Amino acid sequence: MSIVSVIEIQNDKVKIGELITINGWIRSRRDSKLGFSFIDVNDGSSCNPIQCIAYNNLKNYYKDVLKLTVGCSITILGNLFLSSGKKQKYEIVINNINILGFVDNPERYPISSKNHTVEHLRNVVHLRSRTNFIGSISRIRDFISYALKSFLYKKKYVWVPTPIITSIDSEGLGKMFRVSTLDFYNLPKDNDGKIDFRKDFFGKESFLTVSGQLTLETYACSLSKVYTFGPTFRAENSNTSRHLSEFWMLELEESFLSLDEIIQFSENMLKKLINLVLKNCYQDIKFLELKSKNKIFCKLNFFLENDFIKKDYAEIIDILNFSKKFKEKINFGTDLSSEHEKYILNYYSNIPIVIKNHPKKIKAFYMKLNDDKKTVSSFDLLLPGVGEVIGGSEREDKFDKLETRLKEMGMSLQDYSWYLDLRKYGTVPHSGFGMGFERLLSYITNVTNVRDLIPFPRTAKNSLF
């Protein structure tokens, strides 16, 4: 006798007739007048439950089995057989059933067997993983995380855990969450009447990171090929389907690499990843495709079949202005809106597009200045239905140019002295990018709201759990 998972049974890993044990939660119970019950059980390993048959000769059939409802937790001992039904290949005939936990007030259980809206599920975040919808997303999310790390390991990239608590603003946006142990009701003040952060835990003003890029670069300038993967935080009051206050990013840096090379690397990485998803997450993608009524497999195969389109920002501005779709002229230096991105993707038949060489005034201080002195060596990757998923650049490797950019943006040279040091001591050309993990997951699953793609979404006015 062995303990097996539902997915092992469905993947033909268990012999017919074998005596097995499964643990899980009830998805449904149907009683027959002939003296037996069908019980569908799932353990979270699959979006499809396993059908189990309980006959009325079980010692606790009338006492317990007929009281089972959706959500009850059980352990089943039984033999595996081929099913005569059309909806499943296998079924388990129960020899013994042990009820681990009943559901109190079943009529009020928030995750009943009916279909639930995503809005309802967001109100019961602590229970929504019990649905097939969130279960499928969770398994796909897990696989993508594993596949990314595996891909980078095989490519000899070194994982570097960059700080979550920081004293620097990597993006220069100023929209950061402060980390402090000061008593808000009795704040220490300096001689100028300002808060004296020297009395704080870290001895200076500290924040949750918006990006691990700058600290990651320190390792790229010694180990050559590095990446980090973890949560990042933005204090932006953006109530949209594409924004979270806490989200995950894959950030990668490589020395001796040009802009065109990092763009090609990102394309190769995504195509390898999606190819693996199609092979390893078929059941969950199929479930989401049926639920959304969108052709996810066709979209992902289309992604694999087409090379990314690569255009300069200036060309994109010309296309937008030539379209006559937008009432106001789009000037060089405009940060593209989601409406602009959608138009461009449609213009190019929804083939992923890379926009390069943006005006320096709309990009971060660390991006390498091009010879025209107006643009930087940057790129954004846009995917249909999602928008920007990856943003990257060549990093400025010249001390004087980086120092000038910091001054232009009114940033403290002292705070970034260590970053400038990288340009003083054996500087090298290097490039990197950051990829929004939830946005990539949105593209793959066709789930449009990122709040449904992270277990416990953090947004403005919402920090439950």
- How would DSSP label each residue in 352-396? -EEEE--BGGGS-TTBPBPTTSSBBSEEEEEETTTEEEEEEEEEP
Note the pLDDT tens digit of each residue in 275-312.
999 999 999 999 999 988 889 999 999 999 999 999 99
Q: What is the pLDDT of residue 354?
A: 98
Burial of 190 (0-12, 13-18, 19+ CB in 10 A): exposed
Q: 464: which strand partners?
A: none
pLDDT over threshold 90, residue 236: no
* % the chain with pLDDT above 70: 99
pLDDT over threshold 70, residue 319: yes
Note the pLDDT tens digit of each residue in 322-357.
998 888 899 999 999 999 999 999 999 999 999 999
Nearest partner of 314 among 346, 356, 283, judged by Cα:
356
Note the pLDDT tens digit of each residue in 93-109.
999 999 999 999 999 99
- The whole-model pTM stands at 0.95
SS3 73: strand
- CA distances for 54 relative to 91, 100, 130, 149, 198, angstroms: 11, 16, 23, 44, 68
Which backbone phi and psi does 339 adopt, to 5 degrees?
-65, -40
Q: What is the pLDDT of residue 294?
A: 86
Report the alpha-carbon distance of residue 423 to residue 432 in Å, rounded: 16
* % the chain with pLDDT above 90: 89
Report the alpha-carbon distance of residue 218 to residue 67 in Å, rounded: 61
Q: Which residues touch 98 (CB under 8 Å, ≥6 apart)?
A: 74, 75, 76
Q: What is the pLDDT of residue 172?
A: 65
- Is residue 285 a contact partner of residue 447, using CB atoms and an 8 Å limit? no
Q: Which helix (H) or strand (E) holds 45?
A: none
Q: What is the pLDDT of residue 292?
A: 87
Q: Which residues touch 382 (CB under 8 Å, ≥6 apart)?
A: 341, 344, 345, 352, 353, 354, 355, 388, 389
Q: What is the pLDDT of residue 328?
A: 87
Nearest partner of 336 among 356, 310, 307, 352, judged by Cα:
356
Q: What is the pLDDT of residue 53?
A: 98
Q: What is the pLDDT of residue 192?
A: 93
Note the pLDDT tens digit of each residue in 56-96.
999 999 999 999 999 999 999 999 999 988 889 999 999 99
Q: What is the pLDDT of residue 120?
A: 93
Chain centroid, CA 440 distance in Å? 6
Report the alpha-carbon distance of residue 205 to residue 211 in Å, rounded: 17
